Amino acid sequence: MRAVQVVGYGTPLAMTEVARPEITGPHDVLVRIGGAGVCRTDIHVLEGQWAEKSGVALPYTIGHENAGWVEAVGSAVGHVAEGDKVILHPLMTCGTCRACRSGDDVHCEQQAFPGIDTAGGYADYLKTSARSVVRLDDSLAPADVAALADAGLTAYHAAAKAARALRPGHRCAVIGAGGLGHIGIQILKAISASELIVVDRNPDAVRLATGLGADHGVLADGTQVEQVRELTGGRGAEVVLDFVGEGGATRDGIGMLRRAGDYHVVGYGENLDVPTIDVISAEINFIGNLVGSYTDLCELMSLAARGAVRLHTSEYPLDRFQDAIDDLAAGRVRGRAVLVP
């Protein structure tokens, strides 16, 4: 089968032919890929940012946002069958460690991460585990929801955590209305009654944000911190969700935060630089957000099935993987890019 692989850090991806995975264990699920999301993390992988953390041996197949159709299942798999449409939780987890037993499977002690430390979905087929597979509603197509497997799931995880602290009358500032941000805006509108202020440096992204329901769109033109503080009566937002995390976004986000506010870090790429005296004197909280749990993914698919969350996607055939990567890196993708084998 075809597979797009990382053959070296700092070098382009390569299309190769590899053996199709086979069912070898009772909980295995083989999926024919119908859509593989192209994520900025894939660019970070190619840059070598994950090399030490993942410890993966090259070459290996990239791609961690996957959906498709069940091709075959192991003998112990009963909740999905051949032909079912499915989306895949990005982690393969053990189910027996303390984290898994408590529903916090994102922190499984024996996890594998397809596309990061084992074979991913930029390919015709992917083998995963029964614990990673969520059946899709009949109204949903794999290519349309594939990027929800990680980008959407990460956005849901962060938005759901933020929503616990948001009350009617509160303000939530969202930095970035791109691949993750445009999903996070829809989720916040669906599960929170807070007033949404969305900040982006791209006018098209600001228009997209307001079209998705944001109460205010702020163009990042150098005055974005002042604009947000003006919209919040000079106090700042109760919650800031930073879907960018680089290019000065964290400095701006801290400036938009009110006293005793929560700053949710989602995007990454730069360091936080804040005097510790400012942290304690204003009692602000910094909260990290990784990908969501299996339960989070099920809840997100419920929102998608009723039309509360929709992805804006650009589809590319699998053999145009380099175009998709280049377009994402150059900022030419509005929403998410998806490879369709």
Question: What whole-number distance in Å separates Cα of residue 312 and Cα of residue 182?
Answer: 8
pLDDT at residue 213, rounded to an integer: 95
pLDDT at residue 312, rounded to an integer: 84
Q: For residue 53, is pLDDT > 90?
A: no
Query: Using one digit for the tens of pLDDT, what is the confidence trace for 122-167?
Result: 999 999 999 999 999 999 999 999 999 998 999 999 999 999 999 9
Q: How confident is the model at residue 269 (pLDDT cuts 50, 70, 90)?
A: confident
pLDDT at residue 179, rounded to an integer: 82
Query: Using one digit for the tens of pLDDT, what is the confidence trace for 5-48?
Result: 999 999 999 999 999 999 999 999 999 999 999 998 899 999 99
* 75, 26 contact by CB (below 8 A): yes
Domains belonging to the chain, first-starting first, are: 2-150+292-340 (3.90.180.10), 153-288 (3.40.50.720)
Mean pLDDT, to the nearest integer, of 180-192?
95
pLDDT at residue 16, rounded to an integer: 97
For all residues of the chain together, what is the average pLDDT?
95
pLDDT at residue 10, rounded to an integer: 93
The beta-carbon contacts of 196-199 under 8 Å, at least 24 apart in sequence, are: 196/171, 196/172, 197/171, 197/172, 197/173, 197/228, 197/231, 197/232, 197/237, 198/173, 198/174, 199/173, 199/174, 199/175, 199/224, 199/227, 199/228, 199/252, 199/256
Q: What are the tokens at 111?
A: 């996890």
* 192, 159 contact by CB (below 8 A): yes
Query: Using one digit for the tens of pLDDT, what is the confidence trace for 58-96?
Result: 999 999 999 999 999 999 999 999 999 999 999 999 999
Mean pLDDT, to the nearest integer, of 190-214?
95
Query: Using one digit for the tens of pLDDT, what is the confidence trace for 273-301?
Result: 999 999 999 999 999 999 999 999 999 99
Q: For residue 304, is pLDDT > 90?
A: yes
